[in-house]
Amino acid sequence: MKITIIGLGSVGSAVATAVANTGLAHEIVLFDRDGVRARAAAEDLGHAAAFSYDIKITAVNNYRAIRGSEIVIIAAGANQKPGQTRTDLLHANAAVINDIVPRVMANVDSKNVKLIIVTNPLDVMVMLAQKISKLPASRVIGTGTMLDSARLRTILARQLSVSTQSINAYVLGEHGDSSMINWSSASIGGIDLNSFCRQTKISLPATTRKTIEHRVHNAAYEIIRGRGATWDGIAGAVADLVRCVVNDEKRILTVSLLDGVGDKAVAMSMPRIVGNSGVVAALCPKMSAEESAALRRSSRIIRKNFDTL
Ligand code: NAD
């Protein structure tokens, strides 16, 4: 499969490595408005690939060369500087999506292509990319809260002394400050979280849950403070999403996708079944009244931000 990555900064470069390491692409095309950076990334990645898979990796300086791509990953645009929120990037990155998406669409097969959006503020960028591309919503997929859910599972795994693989626990709503932890549907090996805690005599009181929420919400800020940007976590999320699509795995991932029509339409993360044709079904997990209210609030924030564009 031919996969294009647009934007070869910290995130795009890490995504390129992670996608190459899936072994699922026969060709990876890299485009950045900074051609020197894209060429250097292609060169470096090509050397790494010599130790793993035979992949053709090329940097290109025009969009015609992305023809034949079945997946286009958009990781271009401004990132958060220390202290900035994702929403602070709204107008700058809307201009980036406005620049990139029409050029992509002029060169790909609109009946088949899947766009994977990584650029922040993620959910609004998904809405904008869908609007510009006119693709079915099911094929304009944002990584959404895949990363936030991974952060939650990692913290819970340590707290509960169990593998992340055995934890089903989701962060839903905005990939941003209003995201919501769906404690009501969390389960460990098929056992609901509260029952798991009783059986293993592990205490997870409300105060601990609040601390976990705080750590999940602030993970990106902490990483940006420490290393200037985040890239490894999101690269893992994109590679996992690519695997799910290419192999038609139909796993449940908390990706962001436009739901609804007209003024009420909003893109946000819910558990969704993802396969080769994109998102094939959206699911609604068990939620407390408080969680439902938080999700509605998150949805209103995303829509309001989109309406300012
Ligand atoms: P960066 O500044 O390191 O790189 C951005 C790259 O985009 C640069 O190479 C730049 O030349 C390129 N670019 C900008 N405008 C372009 C255009 N119109 N066409 C082609 N290329 C263009 O930033 P980064 O750290 O790699 O972050 C990229 C984006 O990913 C940011 O918006 C960041 O917030 C986002 N991000 C998302 C998640 C997530 O979970 N969705 C996680 C981390 C970062």
pLDDT interval class at 301 (50, 70, 90): very high
What would the two tokens of residue 185 be?
């549907």
Q: What is the pLDDT of residues 215-256, one digit of tens each?
A: 999 999 999 999 999 999 999 999 999 999 999 999 999 999
Angstrom CA distances, 203 to 69, 150, 195, 209, 290, stand at 49, 21, 11, 10, 22
Predicted local distance difference test score (pLDDT) of residue 263: 86
Helix (H/G/I), strand (E/B), else coil: 8: coil
139-143, 164-168, 178-182, 258-262, range with the lowest pLDDT: 258-262
What would the two tokens of residue 45 be?
């990645």
Question: What distance in Å separates the CA atoms of residue 183 and residue 171, rounded to the nearest whole number?
Answer: 9
Question: What distance in Å separates the CA atoms of residue 4 and residue 10, rounded to the nearest whole number?
Answer: 16
pTM for this prediction: 0.97
Could you tell me whether strands 2-6 and 71-74 are parallel, antiparallel, or unpaired per DSSP bridges? parallel
Angstrom CA distances, 279 to 71, 81, 116, 167, stand at 14, 32, 11, 22
> What does the DSSP 8-state code read for residue 165?
G
Helix (H/G/I), strand (E/B), else coil: 116: strand
Nearest Cα residue to atom 42 of ligand 1: 234
Cis previous bond, 285, omega within 30: no
Question: What distance in Å separates the CA atoms of residue 303 and residue 307, rounded to the nearest whole number?
Answer: 6
CA of 51 from ligand 1 middle (Å) equals: 27
Q: How many helices (H) and strands (E) does the chain have?
A: 9, 14
Q: What is the pLDDT of residues 249-259, one digit of tens each?
A: 999 999 999 99
Question: What distance in Å separates the CA atoms of residue 180 and residue 178, rounded to the nearest whole number?
Answer: 6
Amino acid identity at 212: I
Residues catalogued as catalytic: 175
- Please give all residues whose beta carbon lies within 6 A of any atom in ligand 1, as ranges: 6-12, 32-34, 37, 75-80, 89, 93, 96, 99-100, 118-120, 122, 143, 147, 175, 229-230, 234
Mutate to test the pocket of ligand 1, among 37, 61, 90, 120 (most ligand atoms within 8 A of CB): 120
Residues, the chain, total?
A: 309
Mutate to test the pocket of ligand 1, among 5, 13, 36, 79 (most ligand atoms within 8 A of CB): 79
Angstrom CA distances, 217 to 19, 35, 43, 184, 248, stand at 26, 35, 36, 18, 31
Q: What is the pLDDT of residues 41-64, one digit of tens each?
A: 999 999 999 999 999 999 999 999
**Beta carbons within 10 angstroms of residue 103's beta carbon:** 15
Q: What is the pLDDT of residues 19-32, one digit of tens each?
A: 999 999 999 999 99
